[in-house]
Amino acid sequence: MWPEALYYATCILEEMQWIRTRPVHASDFFHGPLELIEPGVSLVLFRGEDAYDPLAERVAQFARQYTDRLTVISTADYCPQTLSPELRALISPAVMATLMERLSAHLEVMRDHPLVTRRYYKRVAY
C-alpha cells in the first residue's frame, strides 16, 4: 500500500486539499512516528493483503490504544473473497486506488475545496 499512501498523502491531501500530512510506511512507524500518536491525532491506515499486512496490523493494534481518530481502510473489505490470496495481494493496490479516488470526490465536496484549486502549482514560477 506504500505507493498509494505516498501518492494520496502528498498529491491529494497536501497538494490538492492543503491538509498537512506525513506518509509513513508501517515498517517505519515504530521508529519515531509512534511518539506523535495521542488522543485527537488522526491516523489513516491503508491495509492491503500482502506480506506487509502483519506490520499494518501491528500499527493498528498500537494506535487503537492511543488515539480516538484511527481510520483503517482495508482492501480485505472490498476484494472478492472468491479470489486466491495471491491474486488478492496483487490487485489490492488497484482496489485501494479506486477506493481513494472515490473518497477524494467526497472530500472535495465536504471541504468545499475542488481538487484543481492551487495556490502555486502551475500558477507562479518556482
Label residue 66 by pLDDT band (50, 70, 90): very high
Quick: pLDDT tens for 19-51: 999 999 999 999 999 999 999 999 999 999 999
CATH of domain 2-110: 3.40.50.10490
pLDDT of residue 64: 97
Residue 17: DSSP 8-state: T
- Tell me if 72 sits within 8 A of 28, measured CB to CB: no
Distance CA 37, CA 13 (A): 19
Distance CA 61, CA 55 (A): 10
pLDDT of residue 126: 87
Domain ranges of the chain: 2-110
* Other CB atoms within 10 A of residue 117 CB: 12
Label residue 122 by pLDDT band (50, 70, 90): confident
Has residue 121 got a pLDDT over 90?
A: no
